[in-house]
Amino acid sequence: MERKTKKKYLKAYAAGFLLISILILMILFFSSCSISKLKIDAAYILKTDPEKAVIDFLKALDNKSPDYIYDNLLSVKDKNNISKDKFKEELDLILTDIDTIEIKKTTYLGYEAKDNLVKVVAQFNVKYKNSEVKEYKKYIYLVEENKDWKIVFEKTFI
């Protein structure tokens, strides 16, 4: 009798495992998720919050989303210096020549006490519409506002 019970549990376990495996495969298939995207997402989880903000910024540039940048990644001080419409207009103009942005690496460099800023170095490639590809290494400065990290455009880009 004991043997039959073990076989029942083993069959139930195997059926459950098969069902869960099929569900996971269906989710991956229907969400168009690829292995490379899973690797990027896993690496993102391990990044510091300032690095995540820089990655979000570069992805927003790649997606041509100046509204997202203005609303979520621009510091209050920078927002006080430029309207959303003007920011969008200027960034759209810059992005017209860019085809894609590929993030290679971000590195958290630490806190700068004198300015109350954090510095992250981002390495990325920009492919322009004329097929030219340029490699960039850019120091990006961030400030924490209400527990969110914002890019300080004035110090980073000017």
Q: Which amino acid is at 31?
A: S
Same domain, 74 and 3: no
Same domain, 27 and 96: no
Same domain, 77 and 140: yes
Looking at residue 6, what is its pLDDT? 66
Q: How confident is the model at residue 4 (pLDDT cuts 50, 70, 90)?
A: low
Residue corresponding to tokens 């059926």: 15
Rounded average pLDDT over 101-129: 92
Looking at residue 46, what is its pLDDT? 86
CATH of the domain at 70: 3.10.450.100
Mean pLDDT, all residues of the chain: 85
User: Positive or negative CA dihedral for 41, 45, 49, 51?
Assistant: negative
The number of domains in the chain is: 2
Same domain, 81 and 18: no
Residue 20's domain spans which residues?
1-33
Residue 39 in any domain: the answer is: no
Q: How confident is the model at residue 22 (pLDDT cuts 50, 70, 90)?
A: confident
Same domain, 4 and 72: no
Structure tokens at 115: 């300015």
Is the CB of residue 88 less than 8 Å from the CB of residue 79? no
pLDDT higher than threshold 80 for residue 153: yes
The beta-strand segments (E) located in the chain are 98-112, 117-128, 133-145, 148-151
Residue 38 in any domain: the answer is: no
Residue 127 in any domain: the answer is: yes
Taking the C-alpha atoms of residue 84 and residue 19, their distance in angstroms, rounded to an integer, is: 49
Same domain, 57 and 14: no
Predicted confidence (pLDDT) per residue in 25-55, tens digit: 666 555 554 444 445 566 778 899 999 999 9
Same domain, 57 and 125: yes
Rounded average pLDDT over 85-90: 95
Rg (CA), the chain: 23
Is the CB of residue 102 less than 8 Å from the CB of residue 124? yes
Taking the C-alpha atoms of residue 158 and residue 154, their distance in angstroms, rounded to an integer, is: 5
Residue 51 in any domain: the answer is: yes
| Full strand arrangement of the beta sheet holding 98-112 | 98-112, 117-128, 133-145, 148-151
pTM of the full structure:
0.72
The alpha carbon of residue 66 and the mean position of all alpha carbons in its chain are separated, in whole angstroms, by: 15
Predicted confidence (pLDDT) per residue in 53-70, tens digit: 999 999 999 999 999 999
Same domain, 20 and 56: no
Residue 42 in any domain: the answer is: no
Taking the C-alpha atoms of residue 38 and residue 74, their distance in angstroms, rounded to an integer, is: 28
Q: How confident is the model at residue 5 (pLDDT cuts 50, 70, 90)?
A: low
Looking at residue 158, what is its pLDDT? 65
Same domain, 59 and 26: no
pLDDT higher than threshold 80 for residue 130: yes
Looking at residue 157, what is its pLDDT? 78
Looking at residue 144, what is its pLDDT? 94
Is the CB of residue 104 less than 8 Å from the CB of residue 125? yes
Same domain, 73 and 123: yes
Rounded average pLDDT over 103-124: 91
